[in-house]
Amino acid sequence: MAALMSISFQIVVCGSIVPDPLQTLEPVTTPAGPGLKNEMMLPAVLDPWASHSLYEAANLAKQHPGSKVWLVSLGPKAKLQQVMMTVAQKAAFELVAVDGSASGFSDSAQTAAALAEAIQGIPGLDKSRLLVFGGWESASRGAGVTMQMVGERLGIQDQFQGVDQIKVEADGSFEVMERVEGGQHQLSRCAGAPALLGWATGNLPEPKNNPQIGMMNMRTVAPALQKAKPFKPASNDLTFNSISLPKQVRETKIVKDKSADEIARELLEWIQQ
Protein backbone atom coordinates (compact mmCIF):
# COMPACT_ATOMS: atom_id res chain seq x y z
CA MET A 1 0.00 0.00 0.00
CA ALA A 2 2.87 2.38 0.81
CA ALA A 3 4.33 1.92 -2.66
CA LEU A 4 0.97 2.64 -4.27
CA MET A 5 0.40 5.77 -2.22
CA SER A 6 3.82 7.16 -3.23
CA ILE A 7 2.76 7.38 -6.88
CA SER A 8 1.56 10.83 -7.89
CA PHE A 9 0.51 12.34 -11.18
CA GLN A 10 0.28 15.68 -12.89
CA ILE A 11 -3.05 15.52 -14.71
CA VAL A 12 -3.90 18.10 -17.35
CA VAL A 13 -7.53 18.15 -18.51
CA CYS A 14 -8.35 19.82 -21.83
CA GLY A 15 -11.91 21.11 -21.94
CA SER A 16 -13.73 24.04 -23.47
CA ILE A 17 -17.16 25.57 -23.03
CA VAL A 18 -20.18 24.94 -25.23
CA PRO A 19 -23.68 26.44 -25.45
CA ASP A 20 -26.15 24.87 -23.05
CA PRO A 21 -27.64 21.93 -25.01
CA LEU A 22 -31.14 22.89 -23.82
CA GLN A 23 -30.94 26.02 -25.97
CA THR A 24 -32.06 26.26 -29.59
CA LEU A 25 -28.94 26.60 -31.73
CA GLU A 26 -29.27 28.27 -35.12
CA PRO A 27 -26.23 28.35 -37.43
CA VAL A 28 -25.61 31.60 -39.28
CA THR A 29 -22.95 33.02 -41.57
CA THR A 30 -21.06 35.94 -40.05
CA PRO A 31 -18.34 38.22 -41.50
CA ALA A 32 -15.81 36.10 -39.60
CA GLY A 33 -17.24 32.85 -40.95
CA PRO A 34 -19.82 30.32 -39.69
CA GLY A 35 -21.21 30.77 -36.19
CA LEU A 36 -24.32 30.54 -34.05
CA LYS A 37 -27.06 33.13 -33.87
CA ASN A 38 -26.60 35.30 -30.73
CA GLU A 39 -23.75 33.00 -29.68
CA MET A 40 -22.37 35.33 -27.01
CA MET A 41 -25.84 35.61 -25.45
CA LEU A 42 -26.34 31.85 -25.12
CA PRO A 43 -25.74 30.35 -21.65
CA ALA A 44 -22.66 28.13 -21.63
CA VAL A 45 -21.55 24.97 -19.82
CA LEU A 46 -18.36 22.96 -19.67
CA ASP A 47 -18.28 20.48 -22.55
CA PRO A 48 -20.00 17.30 -21.23
CA TRP A 49 -17.19 15.07 -22.53
CA ALA A 50 -14.60 17.27 -20.83
CA SER A 51 -16.67 17.20 -17.61
CA HIS A 52 -16.27 13.43 -17.37
CA SER A 53 -12.53 13.87 -17.92
CA LEU A 54 -12.34 16.40 -15.11
CA TYR A 55 -14.27 14.24 -12.65
CA GLU A 56 -12.09 11.23 -13.45
CA ALA A 57 -8.94 13.34 -13.06
CA ALA A 58 -10.08 14.66 -9.67
CA ASN A 59 -10.92 11.14 -8.51
CA LEU A 60 -7.54 9.80 -9.60
CA ALA A 61 -5.71 12.69 -7.92
CA LYS A 62 -7.64 12.04 -4.71
CA GLN A 63 -6.50 8.40 -4.73
CA HIS A 64 -2.85 9.42 -5.13
CA PRO A 65 -1.75 12.14 -2.69
CA GLY A 66 0.68 14.63 -4.18
CA SER A 67 -1.13 14.63 -7.51
CA LYS A 68 -2.40 17.86 -9.06
CA VAL A 69 -5.04 18.68 -11.69
CA TRP A 70 -4.98 21.53 -14.21
CA LEU A 71 -7.90 22.48 -16.45
CA VAL A 72 -6.70 23.97 -19.75
CA SER A 73 -9.59 25.73 -21.46
CA LEU A 74 -9.77 27.69 -24.69
CA GLY A 75 -12.73 30.05 -24.85
CA PRO A 76 -13.86 33.67 -24.45
CA LYS A 77 -12.72 34.99 -21.07
CA ALA A 78 -16.12 36.39 -20.15
CA LYS A 79 -17.83 33.06 -20.81
CA LEU A 80 -15.10 31.09 -19.05
CA GLN A 81 -15.55 33.20 -15.94
CA GLN A 82 -19.29 32.50 -15.87
CA VAL A 83 -18.88 28.75 -16.31
CA MET A 84 -16.07 28.49 -13.77
CA MET A 85 -18.39 29.82 -11.06
CA THR A 86 -20.19 26.46 -11.27
CA VAL A 87 -17.44 24.09 -12.38
CA ALA A 88 -15.10 25.27 -9.61
CA GLN A 89 -17.39 23.69 -7.01
CA LYS A 90 -17.20 20.23 -8.60
CA ALA A 91 -13.50 19.36 -8.38
CA ALA A 92 -10.18 20.81 -7.27
CA PHE A 93 -8.06 22.15 -10.14
CA GLU A 94 -5.93 25.05 -11.32
CA LEU A 95 -7.23 26.85 -14.38
CA VAL A 96 -5.04 27.63 -17.39
CA ALA A 97 -7.06 29.85 -19.70
CA VAL A 98 -6.56 30.69 -23.37
CA ASP A 99 -8.70 33.59 -24.59
CA GLY A 100 -10.19 32.72 -27.97
CA SER A 101 -13.21 31.45 -29.80
CA ALA A 102 -14.86 28.26 -28.56
CA SER A 103 -16.67 27.86 -31.86
CA GLY A 104 -17.15 24.37 -33.23
CA PHE A 105 -16.20 25.75 -36.65
CA SER A 106 -12.59 26.41 -35.64
CA ASP A 107 -9.74 24.39 -37.12
CA SER A 108 -8.78 21.37 -35.02
CA ALA A 109 -5.07 21.57 -35.84
CA GLN A 110 -4.77 25.18 -34.69
CA THR A 111 -6.84 24.46 -31.58
CA ALA A 112 -4.54 21.54 -30.72
CA ALA A 113 -1.47 23.73 -31.21
CA ALA A 114 -2.84 26.38 -28.82
CA LEU A 115 -3.72 23.77 -26.18
CA ALA A 116 -0.32 22.06 -26.44
CA GLU A 117 1.46 25.40 -26.08
CA ALA A 118 -0.59 26.21 -22.97
CA ILE A 119 0.25 22.82 -21.45
CA GLN A 120 3.96 23.24 -22.16
CA GLY A 121 3.81 26.61 -20.42
CA ILE A 122 2.65 25.16 -17.08
CA PRO A 123 5.43 25.88 -14.54
CA GLY A 124 7.16 22.81 -13.10
CA LEU A 125 5.48 20.34 -15.44
CA ASP A 126 7.10 16.90 -15.06
CA LYS A 127 6.52 14.84 -18.20
CA SER A 128 7.42 11.60 -16.39
CA ARG A 129 4.28 12.08 -14.26
CA LEU A 130 2.07 13.66 -16.93
CA LEU A 131 -1.37 12.36 -17.84
CA VAL A 132 -3.34 14.39 -20.38
CA PHE A 133 -7.11 13.91 -20.16
CA GLY A 134 -9.80 15.19 -22.48
CA GLY A 135 -13.04 14.27 -24.16
CA TRP A 136 -13.03 11.40 -26.62
CA GLU A 137 -15.48 13.59 -28.50
CA SER A 138 -16.79 17.13 -28.05
CA ALA A 139 -20.15 18.85 -28.10
CA SER A 140 -18.62 21.56 -30.30
CA ARG A 141 -15.23 20.50 -31.67
CA GLY A 142 -16.46 17.04 -32.59
CA ALA A 143 -13.81 16.34 -35.24
CA GLY A 144 -12.48 13.53 -33.05
CA VAL A 145 -8.84 14.43 -33.70
CA THR A 146 -8.04 17.39 -31.44
CA MET A 147 -6.83 15.37 -28.45
CA GLN A 148 -4.72 13.10 -30.65
CA MET A 149 -2.96 16.11 -32.15
CA VAL A 150 -2.38 17.59 -28.69
CA GLY A 151 -0.67 14.36 -27.69
CA GLU A 152 1.48 14.31 -30.81
CA ARG A 153 2.63 17.89 -30.23
CA LEU A 154 3.58 16.95 -26.66
CA GLY A 155 5.47 13.88 -27.86
CA ILE A 156 3.09 11.47 -26.11
CA GLN A 157 2.93 8.19 -28.00
CA ASP A 158 0.74 6.19 -25.60
CA GLN A 159 -2.78 7.35 -26.40
CA PHE A 160 -6.13 5.77 -25.53
CA GLN A 161 -9.53 6.84 -26.85
CA GLY A 162 -13.05 6.04 -25.67
CA VAL A 163 -11.79 5.39 -22.14
CA ASP A 164 -14.24 4.37 -19.43
CA GLN A 165 -11.82 3.36 -16.69
CA ILE A 166 -8.20 3.57 -15.54
CA LYS A 167 -6.75 1.35 -12.84
CA VAL A 168 -3.30 2.23 -11.48
CA GLU A 169 -1.07 -0.58 -10.23
CA ALA A 170 1.50 -0.45 -7.42
CA ASP A 171 4.43 -0.12 -9.84
CA GLY A 172 2.97 2.95 -11.57
CA SER A 173 1.67 1.06 -14.59
CA PHE A 174 -2.03 1.21 -15.31
CA GLU A 175 -4.79 -0.69 -17.04
CA VAL A 176 -7.08 1.22 -19.38
CA MET A 177 -10.55 0.10 -20.44
CA GLU A 178 -11.46 1.46 -23.89
CA ARG A 179 -14.68 1.17 -25.85
CA VAL A 180 -14.55 -0.83 -29.08
CA GLU A 181 -17.12 -1.99 -31.60
CA GLY A 182 -20.10 -4.12 -30.65
CA GLY A 183 -20.58 -2.68 -27.17
CA GLN A 184 -17.38 -4.34 -25.95
CA HIS A 185 -14.31 -3.01 -24.13
CA GLN A 186 -10.63 -3.51 -24.79
CA LEU A 187 -8.21 -3.77 -21.86
CA SER A 188 -4.76 -2.28 -22.45
CA ARG A 189 -1.80 -2.05 -20.10
CA CYS A 190 0.51 0.95 -20.13
CA ALA A 191 3.91 0.98 -18.41
CA GLY A 192 3.25 4.44 -16.97
CA ALA A 193 3.20 8.15 -17.67
CA PRO A 194 3.27 10.07 -19.91
CA ALA A 195 0.00 9.08 -21.59
CA LEU A 196 -3.07 10.69 -23.12
CA LEU A 197 -6.60 9.48 -22.38
CA GLY A 198 -9.65 10.57 -24.35
CA TRP A 199 -12.57 9.83 -22.03
CA ALA A 200 -16.03 8.58 -22.90
CA THR A 201 -18.55 8.75 -20.04
CA GLY A 202 -16.46 6.96 -17.42
CA ASN A 203 -18.05 5.40 -14.35
CA LEU A 204 -18.37 8.35 -11.99
CA PRO A 205 -21.49 10.41 -11.22
CA GLU A 206 -21.39 14.19 -11.33
CA PRO A 207 -19.90 15.40 -8.02
CA LYS A 208 -22.03 17.43 -5.67
CA ASN A 209 -21.29 21.13 -5.34
CA ASN A 210 -18.72 21.84 -2.65
CA PRO A 211 -18.53 25.56 -1.77
CA GLN A 212 -15.18 25.08 0.02
CA ILE A 213 -13.56 23.61 -3.11
CA GLY A 214 -15.19 26.39 -5.10
CA MET A 215 -13.69 29.11 -2.92
CA MET A 216 -10.26 27.49 -3.14
CA ASN A 217 -10.44 27.20 -6.93
CA MET A 218 -11.73 30.75 -7.46
CA ARG A 219 -8.56 32.13 -5.87
CA THR A 220 -6.67 30.99 -8.96
CA VAL A 221 -9.42 31.39 -11.58
CA ALA A 222 -9.40 35.20 -11.63
CA PRO A 223 -5.60 35.51 -11.99
CA ALA A 224 -5.63 32.80 -14.67
CA LEU A 225 -8.22 34.70 -16.69
CA GLN A 226 -6.24 37.91 -16.37
CA LYS A 227 -3.13 36.15 -17.69
CA ALA A 228 -5.01 34.33 -20.46
CA LYS A 229 -3.02 34.43 -23.68
CA PRO A 230 -5.11 35.62 -26.65
CA PHE A 231 -5.58 33.09 -29.41
CA LYS A 232 -6.62 34.10 -32.91
CA PRO A 233 -6.50 31.35 -35.53
CA ALA A 234 -4.36 32.13 -38.54
CA SER A 235 -6.15 32.38 -41.85
CA ASN A 236 -6.15 29.10 -43.74
CA ASP A 237 -7.92 27.33 -46.56
CA LEU A 238 -10.69 25.96 -44.33
CA THR A 239 -14.04 26.98 -45.80
CA PHE A 240 -17.70 26.05 -45.31
CA ASN A 241 -19.99 25.90 -48.31
CA SER A 242 -23.16 26.01 -46.20
CA ILE A 243 -24.42 25.62 -42.65
CA SER A 244 -27.91 24.56 -41.68
CA LEU A 245 -29.90 22.67 -39.07
CA PRO A 246 -30.67 19.00 -39.77
CA LYS A 247 -34.04 18.60 -41.42
CA GLN A 248 -36.77 17.07 -39.30
CA VAL A 249 -38.80 14.37 -41.00
CA ARG A 250 -41.83 12.75 -39.44
CA GLU A 251 -43.96 10.23 -41.29
CA THR A 252 -46.60 8.43 -39.23
CA LYS A 253 -48.40 5.32 -40.41
CA ILE A 254 -50.93 3.38 -38.33
CA VAL A 255 -51.37 -0.31 -39.24
CA LYS A 256 -52.93 -3.35 -37.59
CA ASP A 257 -52.31 -7.09 -37.70
CA LYS A 258 -48.81 -6.94 -39.24
CA SER A 259 -46.04 -9.27 -38.14
CA ALA A 260 -42.77 -8.00 -36.69
CA ASP A 261 -40.94 -9.16 -39.82
CA GLU A 262 -43.25 -7.15 -42.07
CA ILE A 263 -42.87 -4.04 -39.91
CA ALA A 264 -39.09 -4.42 -39.88
CA ARG A 265 -39.05 -4.82 -43.67
CA GLU A 266 -41.07 -1.63 -44.14
CA LEU A 267 -38.80 0.28 -41.78
CA LEU A 268 -35.74 -0.92 -43.67
CA GLU A 269 -37.24 0.15 -46.99
CA TRP A 270 -38.09 3.57 -45.56
CA ILE A 271 -34.55 4.04 -44.25
CA GLN A 272 -33.03 3.02 -47.58
CA GLN A 273 -35.08 5.67 -49.34
SS3 string, 158-183, reads: CEEEEEEEEEECCCCCEEEEEEEHHH
Per DSSP bridges, beta strands 184-190 and 174-180 are: antiparallel
Chain segment 194-241, per-residue pLDDT in tens: 999 999 888 888 889 899 999 999 888 989 999 888 888 776 566 666
Domain at 2-230: CATH code: 3.40.50.620
CB 71 within 8 A of CB 93: yes
For residue 9, the SS3 value is: coil
pLDDT in tens, 162-201: 999 999 998 889 999 999 887 888 999 999 889 999 998 8
Cα(33)–Cα(17) distance, integer angstroms: 19
- Which residues make beta-bridge pairs with 188? 176
Cis amide linkage into residue 123, ω under 30° from 0: no
Identify whether the C-beta of residue 21 lies closer than 8 Å to the C-beta of residue 131: no
Of 219, 174, 200, the residue nearest 64 (C-alpha): 174
